[in-house]
Amino acid sequence: MQVPVAELVVGDVAQIKYGDLLPVDGLLLQGYDLKTDESSLTGESDLVKKSLKGDPMLLSGTHVMEGSGKMLITAVGINSQTGIILTLLGVGEGSEDTKQTDNTHNPAKRQKSTDIEKGPKTSADKKKEEAISKKSVPHKKEKSVLQAKLTRLAVQIGKAGLAMSVLTIIVLISYFSIENFVIQKRTWSVECTPVYIQNLVQFFIIGVTILVVAVPEGLPLAVTISLAYSVKQMMKDNNLVRHLDACETMGNATAICSDKTGTLTMNRMTVVQIFTGGAHHKVVPAPNLIHPMLLNYLLRGISVNCAYISKIVAPDRGGGLPRQIGNKTECALLGLLVELGQDYEAMRTKIPEEKLYKVYTFNSDRKSMSTVLKNPNGSYELFSKGASEILLEKCHQILDSEGKPISFPKPDRERVIKNVLEPMASEGLRTICIAYRDLPGNPEPRWDNEDDIFKDLTCIAVVGIEDPVRPEVPNAIRQCQKAGIVVRMVTGDNINTARAIAIKCGILQPGDNFLCLEGSEFNRRIRGPDGKIKQELVDKIWPNLCVLARSSPADKYNLVEGIINSNLTDQRQVVAVTGDGTNDGPALKKADVGFAMGIAGTDVAKEASDIILTDDNFSSIVKAVMWGRNVYDSIAKFLQFQLTVNIVAVTVAFTGACVTQNSPLKAVQMLWVNLIMDTFASLALATEKPTESLLDRKPYGRNKPLISRTMMKNILFHATYQLAVVFTLLFVGEKMFDLENGRTAPLQSPPTEHYTLVFNTFVMMQICNEVNARKIHGERNVFSGIFTNSIFCIVVVGTLLVQIIIVQIGGKLFSCAKLTLEQWMWSVFFGLGTLLWGQVIAYIPNWYLWFLKEVGEELPRAEFTEEEADVIDYGEQELQRSKILWCRSMNRIQVQLRVVRAFRGSLSHKYCKQGEREGIFPMSDGTDAEIPCDRSAPHPLSQIF
């Protein structure tokens, strides 16, 4: 019978209370124990003693399999470990039980619950309650930081474009009016009305075209394409993204709190060192290097003295590692036999489980497991395995290199402990001693007298077991550290093992000022005298904390929360967390980006996460960082290209319209340019693949400007070159190439080669400048990796082909005249000049351009209350601000209309004697009211205000 222990620990409080001692049938507990790090426990005395000592075990999620005993209830409901985890995850919020419990911990809620008893609140009480509420508001997970910056930048660019559009229309209409009605003194006749209206419509079209080109409507498309493309590609890198914002956020990550088992290590215990036959092998030797007699003892001592449910089976898929089923430590020993070429299954078939004479199961007193076999001659053979320090003290003999027992005096034992056990322990290995003893059959030993049974043992071997570090992890951690990301290990293992693994991974470096703490010590240091967590105490610990061992779910949650809420650094820390168990759920949900394990992860961990690692590998996190930074860079590349086109196109259209009353770039041409710089550019520049060079710089930071000084330099200098070329062609191009002057052509005249050359050169410069825009950090080789992005190549070639078709075939539809080969060559020459000019710009130091300002660094202030959702979406906040401004403007228009109506009513109404008749007047709420006609009554306008 299986009894879910979770029902006992987190069951009905009315039936089960703290301190109850319940009889339980079947007391073999299978499951993970956070406190003891054991996979199973047996025996009544162990369980009850541990509970009575105040060391409650985490039993939720385990099952009672066999045996008998009593269970001491140490916690129920939300006070149990499972209850604490569910509370941190926010499960069950809103229920009556949860509300009652929250009132005892939340000052704001406790204040509300006593309001009825105290009666009406005074103003001082209300102020006090508001202060308490503000203090109790937890940190909100912040998302869409990039979206907020883009929204603010788009609004600013849109306003500038609108201003230029309106100004262009005003200038064109003013120029037209002055030219026709002032200078030439024409009159507006009926015959000329269609012509005048046609000109005015044309001016309006030019203004709208400038507005369309100026407004960066391609920004949302670029963001969407970049995120969608990244998510699809990250799947190939074993990152299953559940929330799109996680891609963007991971690019700004400054800290990673990583689990150990399964993430940094392979989650499979393995024998890596062995001491046998008097020799210490730092690696498992080949079978021919060990005497067959020693191999036989190892085969029998491990095969029959491990649970028969523990075994090594074939991998699920080709190329995978063999699967370990059962106790991990026993699987490591069985794996040693497989590596030494021994068939433990054949031995178990020869000696089945029912032929085992007696089994001494593992418990905390013995620190070992032993199995007794009865020989055919009536004698007995005892095999034992367990804690090496304890078993070695009971060994008086040891097998030599030929498998023969020799004397093993105390000095030799101490030498082995010093030269073998201590070095293994310092490397974070779990040492297991394997021993045996021959027992006489007559008289039969007293099996209950364990002191007589477990003595005079013969040592077969001492093995060092570890969960090996994944081979790619040290390099991945070095990449993170080079990228400015601090990696911390948070694990439930003991501190010595955690420290040794951290050294192997590279988390701890010699000479660094690092701190390794256990969960209990960390919990003690961060709490004040009143027992509450103090942020100033957390700030003293987390900057140097690299390893947190023996941590509980609350410890991991408090660490993540403390780092996020810290104000020690200029930029708020962006924290990523990895985890695989239910215990990691709260920290995964609290983190800016939570990584759950796809193979070993529980459903709770996956649900609380933002990204799922389908291969449970830390190196996949590094790829997520690269993709996150690549998203940011892709948007910056698009901005650099688009703003350059914006400045040139709007300036050319505005200047040309003011000087010639006709824009050099026609409306349909401007729309084609807009298509190039919005849709095509977003496809080309937002699909760049990440490179390892992204890890050579520090995180951008949440307040990092979208447009850096280098980008601003590129935008302004490239715009200057393009404007110089366009204006040269516009004002002297007809003389340079012997063309018809397009400036003097009437508004409705056929397209000229002059303006077509201007348009074609402008497009050629944009195509070449799109190559320049691939680099935003001052790199000189703009062609690096260009052929790895097939979409970029297709867009550039496709744009060129379409441009040829538009110019040579488009005709009047695109306001283009056919160009000669020589004119095409000049257009391409001026276009390639942008590439050469880009190399010149790259050599100009930024510190010479101190006057250039960065744009897009400000973030909207987060304003929220306790009742709001626990996620701040800055993009949504910007939309809300826009809606508010729109509503305010509409409200002001309504007020102005009411004022006008009031003036009209006051002018049309004649005052009369009291009681003669009534008047209808508009009110401030938008309704009309009947007011008796009375000379002494106040003026109707006073009703508005």
Catalytically active residues are 259
- Alpha-carbon distance of 599 to 366, in angstroms, equals 35
- Alpha-carbon distance of 501 to 469, in angstroms, equals 7
Strands 279-281 and 270-276: antiparallel
Burial zone of 885 (CB within 10 Å; 0-12 exposed, 13-18 middle, 19+ buried) = exposed
Strands 141-143 and 21-25: unpaired
- Alpha-carbon distance of 856 to 212, in angstroms, equals 22
Strands 279-281 and 29-30: unpaired
Beta pairing partners, 872? 142
Is the CB of residue 62 less than 8 Å from the CB of residue 9? no
Please give the radius of gyration of the chain, using alpha carbons only, rounded to the nearest integer.
39
Beta pairing partners, 432? 387, 463
Helices (H), 459-512: 473-482, 495-505
Place of tokens 């900057």: 543
Q: b or e along 562-588 (b: 16 or more beta carbons within 10 Å of the residue's beta carbon)?
A: bbbebeeeeebbbbbbbbbbbbbbbbb
DSSP code for 353: G
Question: ∠ CA(136), CA(141), CA(147), 5° rounding?
Answer: 135
Of 203, 201, 214, the residue nearest 168 (C-alpha): 203
Give the helix/strand (H/E) hosting 349. helix 344-350
Residue 610 C-beta-side C-alpha neighbours within 13 Å:
26
Helices 619-660/667-675 angle, 10° precision: 170
DSSP assignments along 247-258, one per residue: HHHHTT--EEEE
- Alpha-carbon distance of 497 to 512, in angstroms, equals 19
Place of tokens 């178990």: 348
Is the CB of residue 641 less than 8 Å from the CB of residue 676? no
Number of H helices, E strands in the chain: 33, 29
CA 624 to chain centre: 8
First to last CA, the chain: 80
- Alpha-carbon distance of 302 to 335, in angstroms, equals 10
Is the CB of residue 239 less than 8 Å from the CB of residue 627? yes
At position 303, the amino acid (one-letter code) is S
Tokens read off for 155: 């609004």
Place of tokens 């410890």: 555
At position 332, the amino acid (one-letter code) is A
- Alpha-carbon distance of 246 to 631, in angstroms, equals 11
At position 238, the amino acid (one-letter code) is N
* Neighbour tally for 524: CB within 10 Å: 11
Q: How far is CA 287 from CA 277, 297, 463, in A?
A: 13, 14, 15
Give the helix/strand (H/E) hosting 434. strand 430-439
DSSP code for 707: B
Spatial neighbors of 851 by CB under 8 A, at least 6 apart, are none
* Neighbour tally for 811: CB within 10 Å: 14
